[in-house]
Amino acid sequence: MPQRESPMQSEMLQGTLDMLILQTLVLGPAHGHTIAHAIERGSEEVLQIEHGSLYPALHRLENRGWIAAFWGTSENNRKAKYYRLTPAGRKQLLAQTTRWEQVVRAIGRILKPATE
Amino acid sequence: MNLRLFCRRAQWDRDRSEEIEDYVRIETDDNIARGMPFDEARAAAVRKLGNRTLIREEIYGMNTAIFFDSLAREVRHALRALRQNPGFTAVALMTLALGIGANTAVFSVVNSVLLNPLRYPRPDELVALRQVAPDAAGLASFNDGLPLSASMYVTYSENNRSFQTMGVWVQTTANVTGLAEPEQVRVIVVSDGVLQALRVPPAAGRWLSPADQVPGSPQRVMLSYGYWQRRFGGARSAIGRTLVANSQLREIVGVMPKGFRMVNAEFDLLAPFQFDRGRLILAGFGLSGIARLKPGVTITQANADIANLLPIWMDSWTNGPGTGNGRHYANWRITPAIRPLKQDVVGGVSDGLWVVMSTIGLVMLIACANVANLLLVRAETRQQELALRSALGASRARVVGSLLVESVLLGLIGGVLGVGLATAGLRLLIAIGPANLPRLSEVSIDPRTLVFALALSLLSGLVFGLIPALKYAGPRISSILRSAGRTASVSRERHRIRNLLVVAQVAMALVLLISAGLMIRTFQALRAVDPGFTDPAHLETMRLAIPPNLVTEPERVLRIQNEIADKLAAIPGVTAAGFGSEMPMEGYGSNWDSINAEGHEYPPGVFPPLRFFKHVSPGFLHAAGTRMIAGRELTWGEVYGRLPVVMLSENLARELWGSAAAAVGRHIRGGSNDPWREVVGVVQDVSETRIDEKAPEIVYWPSLMDGLGGPGGGGVVRTMTFVVRSERAGTEGFLSQVRQAVWSVNGNLPVASLRTMQAIYDESLARTSFTLVMLAIAGVMALLLGIVGIYGVISYAVSQRRREIGIRVALGAKQNVLQLMFVRHALALAMIGVAIGLGAAAGLMRLMKSLLYEISPLDPMTYAAVPLVLVVAAVLASYLPARRAASVDPAKTLRAE
């Protein structure tokens, strides 16, 4: 199996991608293309994701009941699959965000102990 | 894994592909908007997306379990492989279907007869109250030990500490009149406690109550479900109505549910005992006891409990005024022998059934051996394919797995066919099964049987599949590929397994054939027994009862019976007719009692041996074909005149006075107060109880005599079996003439149990013939499978050694020498198998001992004949392929290489 090279693909960041998708959907329902670009833009292009990797993640989140899919109409009047956050997903986002901030703080303390 | 996702995984795949396609379209549009040409725009979009196939695979993988997907693939692959080789598949499936079918059919019988015979709540608490009396001489002839008397029931039920409830019951018959044409029905009389012990609620109305058991209370009765349907159309209004049984009005109070039996007896009416405690005596041992143990009480404890009550019983009752208490019964050494009710129901059939089940199991093993052999041959021809798969990276487990999938698939398809066969076979089984197999007619393929069939299919698939799978999945890839399949298959080691399988088959077939042989010999021995009657096929029998309410005076009863016998004898083609209290093996409540004989009187307090009592009309013995050894039959004059005459069986005459001739003119009497009676005739011994039991000592009394039937009985036997000898016995026309003859004398008499003596006789042999037929079927199957096995191995050996044979022929080997080479191979295998089989049979046949009659489990004739048959079969099975070997054309064979 050839290795994918996108920085988003590493194991460590898989949960992170989930979190980012959920965060994007807080603002309202969106389809796959919109989500991908929103993440890229939101991170000021630092997080370069291979957009295809988004779809397995969406599938996984839908199976867990964190997001729900529905058919809607896109900006250019096309039928497209839209995703929205479910209550369970909102709870999950909160939990993940909290955990993420804890980790970031912890790592930050280790990396810059002197300034604290 | 999520099943919902798994089932919809194809749908998901389509959805997601579409969604991804959407992405590409939108991204392309955006790129075009940024000024790219279409081609470039689309390429950039696809690049941005990444590897689309990988994405789909990743999503698909989330929805599925790899194991199931690959299993489905293996199954498809296996099905294709089986279809490609229809000859092999057909033979394998047929063998398996036969094996699994036979096993499933027999299991369904074992399941409902042996494993699950009682349909009462909490059946494990139910016990049969039995007792033995080893020193009650003559009683040893009872198969079932000493039944209970009414006084025992009262003592036990009032004083025991082991039972929640207990009761006694007995089977009898009654004439029901006034509903349709007069009918004799089966009645079970029960005491209080029986229904309570069985705990089966009525389907309508109520149980018989303790109040119904009080002497002098109104007569009540319950109906069986079948009788309710038959006579009242299942109407609720039947409750409260009355019917006339034995000329007595009885009120119907309830109906028992469908399928309810009293232990294993079917019945039409259920009537209450009305014991008059003031008139009960010690004796009258004729009741079956049933009880429900208190929780936690063991059978041993219950036995000890009842044993303690026996002295109380002896002290509480007498056998009539002036006879003293029952302490003399201590001489009988009465001992309680309580046993689970289940054992009572299953009784003697369990031995036979287990033997049948295990033999059928052996057939299954033989069938598996055959299929394993077939698979070995097949795997051999597929060696290259398997080696290639290994070389391409298939792991050993993978190769074993795919071979196993194939064999398990064979097993399962064989199982499905087998269940079909079993359903058909079951009908046959029910048709030929012995009548004493409880509830045989209700045997069916139930869920438990299906689970058994499934387990058997899977297991056999694994067993016969594992042998070739482990053998050929081995890591000898390079050598096989290099040798291009020629030399690889000739290794000795490979033949060893096949030879081993054939030896095992022969050994198992031998065991089965010997068991079948022993049963055939038993059957022969039984047929050779002179049962004490002749030509049963032309002997019609029927039961006629004349109740006191219909005809009161004893003489008139006899006169009516006499008249009926005369009318029967007058039917065209009838050569003789008569009547007696029962025909041999009919199994109506036998009557045993003791006699005093001239020179053999017993002092008071000593119990003389019990003799079998029969009452017969003049001409009865002649009609039945029972020979007179000495003297003559009774005459009508003697019977009507109540003259003191009697006849004895030969064995009794010998016991008393040394020989039949010496007995004529001597005297016997019943009790010491009865008048002496002269022995006028001695009759040949009759197998009264069962054909495979010793003939009892019999006293033949007249059917009209003083002191018969107790006080007020009037001295006449009212229920008689009539026998009519005619060439036309059993034909419909004859039966209606018989009924007409009876009704021309009295139209109120029901004619019951009209059947030929042959039917009674066959029924008594049913257990043996059933086991015989089953073992014979198993034996023949084993023999055929064994022959196929030997044939297969030898023909395969021939085909593998064509080159060698070709060279030998080219070098001048004679045809018959070559033939002999292969036949000798088969013979060697058969001989080893026979030797092992003989050893096993000698050990195993002892288990069959209870089924054999006058044949040793090591019967020399069987042990000589069966191996001979097998060896001859082996020679024949190898001769055909051997001949093919000899006809090999060396030029052709060698060129073909």
Domains and CATH numbers, chain A: 10-111 (1.10.10.10)
Q: How far apart are CA B793 and CA B773, in angstroms?
A: 30
Q: Do A50 and B48 make contact, defined as CB atoms within 8 angstroms?
A: yes
What value of ipTM does the predicted structure carry?
A: 0.77
Q: How far apart are CA B211 and CA B597, in angstroms?
A: 46
Query: Which residues of chain A have a CB within 8 Å of the CB of B16?
Result: 55, 59
Query: Which residues of chain B have a CB within 8 Å of the CB of A33?
Result: 22-23, 26-27
Query: Which residues of chain B have a CB within 8 Å of the CB of A74?
Result: 22, 26
CA distance, residue A87 to nearest chain B CA (Å): 22
Closest chain A residue to the Cα of B61, Cα to Cα: A56
Task: Answer whether residue A7 shows pLDDT above 50.
Answer: no
Q: Do A52 and B29 make contact, defined as CB atoms within 8 angstroms?
A: no
CA distance, residue B38 to nearest chain A CA (Å): 17
Query: Which residues of chain B have a CB within 8 Å of the CB of A50?
Result: 48-50
Closest chain B residue to the Cα of A63, Cα to Cα: B5
Contact between B609 and B594 (Cβ < 8 Å): yes
Tell me which DSSP letter residue B831 carries. Answer: H
Q: How far apart are CA B845 and CA B616, in angstroms?
A: 43
Cβ-based interface (< 8 Å): residues of A facing B: 2, 4, 6, 31-33, 36, 50-53, 55-56, 59-60, 63, 74, 76, 78, 80-81
In this complex, the residue of A2, A51, A60 whose CB is nearest that of residue B23 is A51
> Does residue B50 sit at the A interface (CB-CB below 8 Å)?
yes
Q: How far apart are CA B710 and CA B260, in angstroms?
A: 34
CA distance, residue B805 to nearest chain A CA (Å): 54
pLDDT at A2: 39
Q: How far apart are CA B542 and CA B618, in angstroms?
A: 17
> Does residue B52 sit at the A interface (CB-CB below 8 Å)?
yes
Mutate to test the interface with B, among A4, A11, A48, A51 (most CBs of B within 10 A): A51
Contact between B601 and B668 (Cβ < 8 Å): no
For B221-260, the pLDDT digits (tens) are: 999 998 999 888 888 998 999 888 887 889 999 999 987 8
Alpha helices in B484-588 (DSSP H): 492-528, 554-570
Instruction: Provide the 10 A C-beta neighbour count for residue B760.
Output: 20
Q: Which positions 57-76 of B are in contact with A (Cβ < 8 Å)?
A: 58-59, 62
Backbone conformation region of residue B619, classed left if phi is above 0, alpha if psi is from -120 to 50, else beta: left
Mutate to test the interface with B, among A33, A49, A60, A67 (most CBs of B within 10 A): A33
Q: Do A4 and B51 make contact, defined as CB atoms within 8 angstroms?
A: yes
Closest chain B residue to the Cα of A9, Cα to Cα: B50
In this complex, the residue of B51, B52, B62 whose CB is nearest that of residue A59 is B62
CA distance, residue B405 to nearest chain A CA (Å): 29
Q: How far apart are CA A95 and CA A90, in angstroms?
A: 9
User: Which residues in chain B land under pLDDT 50?
Assistant: 1, 140-141, 484-490, 710-712
Q: What DSSP element (H or E) covers B681? A: strand B677-683
Tell me which DSSP letter residue B168 carries. Answer: E
Residue with tokens 């025909």: B583
Tell me which DSSP letter residue B326 carries. Answer: G
> Does residue B392 sit at the A interface (CB-CB below 8 Å)?
no
> Does residue B2 sit at the A interface (CB-CB below 8 Å)?
yes
CA distance, residue B65 to nearest chain A CA (Å): 15
Q: Do A78 and B27 make contact, defined as CB atoms within 8 angstroms?
A: no
For chains A and B, count residue pairs whose Cβ atoms are closer than 8 Å: 63
pLDDT at B560: 94
In this complex, the residue of A33, A52, A60 whose CB is nearest that of residue B52 is A52
Cα B692 to Cα B435, B535, B649, B846, B850: the distances in Å are: 17, 19, 18, 18, 11
CA distance, residue A97 to nearest chain B CA (Å): 25
> Does residue B54 sit at the A interface (CB-CB below 8 Å)?
yes
Tokens matching residue B387: 């080696």
User: % helix / strand / coil in chain B, to the nearest 5?
Assistant: 55, 15, 30
In this complex, the residue of B2, B5, B50 whose CB is nearest that of residue A50 is B50
Q: How far apart are CA B842 and CA B859, in angstroms?
A: 10
Output the CA torsion sign for B247, B253, B258, B261.
negative
pLDDT at A8: 42
Query: Which residues of chain A have a CB within 8 Å of the CB of B25?
Result: 78
Q: Do B55 and A51 make contact, defined as CB atoms within 8 angstroms?
A: no
Q: Do B26 and A76 make contact, defined as CB atoms within 8 angstroms?
A: yes
Q: Do A81 and B22 make contact, defined as CB atoms within 8 angstroms?
A: yes
In this complex, the residue of B2, B23, B54 whose CB is nearest that of residue A33 is B23
Query: Which residues of chain B have a CB within 8 Å of the CB of A4?
Result: 50-51, 54
Query: Which residues of chain B have a CB within 8 Å of the CB of A60?
Result: 62
pTM of the model: 0.66
Q: Do A76 and B50 make contact, defined as CB atoms within 8 angstroms?
A: no
Backbone conformation region of residue B585, classed left if phi is above 0, alpha if psi is from -120 to 50, else beta: left
Query: Which residues of chain A have a CB within 8 Å of the CB of B48?
Result: 50-51
In this complex, the residue of B5, B20, B25 whose CB is nearest that of residue A55 is B20
Q: How far apart are CA B746 and CA B331, in angstroms?
A: 48
Mutate to test the interface with A, among B14, B27, B49 (most CBs of A within 10 A): B49
Number of residues that make up chain B: 897
Closest chain B residue to the Cα of A53, Cα to Cα: B55
Closest chain A residue to the Cα of B26, Cα to Cα: A33
